Each structure stands twice: as structure tokens, then as C-alpha cells.
Amino acid sequence: MKQRLVQLIAQTELQVTEQQVQQLVGYVELLHKWNKAYNLTSVRDPNEMLVKHIMDSIVVSAHLQGENFIDVGTGPGLPGIPLAIMCPEKNFTLLDSLGKRIRFIKQVVHELKIANVTPVQSRVEEFQPEQGFDGVISRAFASMNDMVSWCHHLPAENGHFLALKGQFSEQEVAELPEWCSVTEVKSLQIPELEGERHLVILTAKE
């Protein structure tokens, strides 16, 4: 599995250390193990997880500006855990309302010795951070409108929303609230992943 991950990373411009590769593979192994009992992801095959979960997450690491990030609706820690492994100098809060997912994340952080992750069990609308985040990341929300509406209290003054989407939808942009606008759309190239992937960066208007 490690060899396969190294081959996938080689098809990108990402720089990944030996330790990061070990941690990413370790995460997939734990996810595969826990998934049998806790049903954390619909992807069952660890080799598929490498593409659909690991590569799909870590390609975003090149686009993170700032220090503090929150992954909203992180599920079993996606994309938050892979991003935290890729960016050890940044801090990641992983938010989910389900206890079993947060328990799993705590186990991952403990076993893989990931020092820059804070797991939080809460509904997003009830979570009140002490300070805003440079980036509010999500790949789980149905629509960008839902994401910015539920998470509008989370970005810092100059913070951004980072929505991981499949196809980019002009319809979704049209439905955004007036106070929010799309500042950038980046097409993501993920080795061996079928279908389109986009990173949509949104900012609150001044």
C-alpha cells in the first residue's frame, strides 16, 4: 500500500516526506480496521481509499493560506487528517456531531502522533470558537449555500471558505447569500480518480 501511495504522489507536484507517507498509510489502515465495526466510510477497499480519500484530500494542501483551519462535518477525518499530516505547521480543528467519528479521530491522532489536530464533537451551528479560522474547509456539505450559511460565524476577519466539490455548479453560485462571493475556483487533478474535482474559495464581502 505504501508503494502504491508513493506512485500516486509521484503523479503530482506534492513534496511528501517518508514520515508523512507512513502516517497517511497508517491512517488508511486504521480507517479500514475501524470501518468494519463503525461504518465510517462507504469506501471499503484500502487501495480505493488511497485515491478517493488520501489523494483527494492532500491535493488541497497546496492551496491552504493561513495557520488555523476547521474541517466542518469531517466524518472520519476527511480531508482534515490528511491535510494535518501534510501541513504539520498549521492547526486543524475537526468538527463532527457523531461521537463514534470523533472517537476514531482521537484514536488516529494518538496512534499516529499527530500533534496539530483538535477533534471537537458538536453541531456546527452550536460550536463557538474562541477565535475565527483562516480557512473553513468542507467536502461534506450538499450545497455551498448551506455551507456558508451554517458556518458563517467561523471564519476570521480575512478568512475564507474552502468547498471541495465534484463538478463546479453555476447554479450553486447563483444561490449564495448576498454577503458571500466566489473568489476563485481551482480545478484539482487527482491521479486515477474518475470525474471532476474542484476547490471553490469563497469570501465574505466587506
Q: Over the range 60-98, which residues count as b (16 or more CB within 10 Å of their CB) and which as e?
A: bbeebeeebbbbbbbbbbbbbbbbbbbbeebbbbbbbee
125 carries a ligand binding annotation: yes
Q: Is 166 annotated as a binding residue?
A: no
Contact status, residue 198 vs residue 166, Cβ threshold 8 Å: yes
Instruction: Give long-range contacts, CB 8 A cutoff, 24+ apart: 97-105.
Output: 97/121, 97/122, 97/123, 97/124, 100/38, 100/40, 101/40, 101/74, 101/75, 101/76, 101/77, 104/30, 104/31, 104/34, 104/38, 104/40, 104/76, 104/77, 105/74, 105/76, 105/77, 105/80, 105/81
- Is 124 flagged in the annotation as binding? yes
123 is in an annotated binding site: no
Please tell me whether 139 is known to bind a ligand: yes
CB 31 within 8 A of CB 82: no
What residue numbers does the annotated binding site cover? 73, 78, 124-125, 139
What residue numbers does the annotated binding site for S-adenosyl-L-methionine cover? 73, 78, 124-125, 139
